[in-house]
Amino acid sequence: MRPEEYSPLNLAYLGDAVFELMVRETLVAGSSENVCGLFRRAKAYVCASAQSQSYFRLFDRLSPSEQRVAKRGRNSKPGGKAKNASVMEYQHATGLEALFGYLYLSGKSDRLKELFAMCVPTEVESNEKQ
């Protein structure tokens, strides 16, 4: 099955894991902080409100095909709801996650890294590692 044939919620399910793994990898690299501290910091990036902000930060920089995937994810009807986010934030976060799942399945790791760098600004990464 081609990545664009997956349901947007399945892409988001996978993309959620991909995004969180990238956050964890970024936070662990060069850090000697304990696991509890890393977990607390990771939550700030993987929560729906932060992912929603990332969706808007990236959207105009996406190719037309990437925008279609993100919109499909955003417009999908997830079964649950976010605990600490509005419905709109949750929908945009789902769009971001669908995009990350799509890129992962497409084998576009360089593009994933490029977009992730826009989600987790370099100056934040540098401050977090200290």
Q: Tokens for 27? A: 């936070």
Contact 90, 49 (CB under 8 A): no
- Which value, to the nearest 10 degrees, does the dihedral of the CA atoms of residues 106, 107, 111, 117 take? 110
Q: Where are the beta strands (DSSP E) in the chain?
A: none
User: Which residues are known to be catalytic?
Assistant: 16
**Chain position carrying tokens 């890129």:** 103
Among 108, 129, 105, smallest CA distance to 27 is for: 129
CA angle centred on 115, ends 111 and 117, rounded to 5°: 120
